[in-house]
Structure 1
């Protein structure tokens, strides 16, 4: 797996939302439309790519910056 960048992470989240939105690093992902089902799908995608991240982790990292920090630290 190629290491994911913050911009790729942002693009994956926007793609999951299925509507064009701009996500700032400190925006709450729930506020921009990332509901629990979409968050679980993203967590499964990252888990399959070798990044141990689950739904609980997403709940603990509600902003793009917090999620990126967590995800980046866990990438192989």
Structure 2
């Protein structure tokens, strides 16, 4: 997930902070929608509003892994 966000931001993955709003780190609505579409295509049940309301990697991590079946 971090790598995908970093690619959209044009940053190395290690420069994307997990606990800082990705919107503050430069992710725009188009990038956010790109991620939603990509992850939904891979089976995640996530919406633009889900991610926009909680815009940090830490906040995205659990819902995405639970919803896409990779957890538990």
Q: Same fold (TM over 0.5)?
A: yes
Q: Deviations over 1:5-45 (max 9, x none)?
A: xxxx000001112x225112201100111100110011000
**Any stretches of 5+ residues in structure 1 without a counterpart?**
1-8
Residue 72 of structure 1: which of 50, 65, 68 is its match?
65
1:3 corresponds in structure 2 to none
> Which of 12, 24, 30 pairs up with 2:4?
12
Unaligned residue ranges in structure 2 (runs of 5+): none
> CA shift at 1:53, angstroms?
0.9
Q: For this pair of structures, how many residues does the alignment match?
A: 67
Name the Cα RMSD after superposition.
Answer: 1.1
How does the TM-score come out when normalised to structure 2? Answer: 0.84
TM-score by length of 1: 0.80
Q: Which portions of structure 1, spanning 4 or more consecutive aligned residues, are displaced by more than 4 angstroms? A: none
Counterpart secondary structure, 1:66: helix
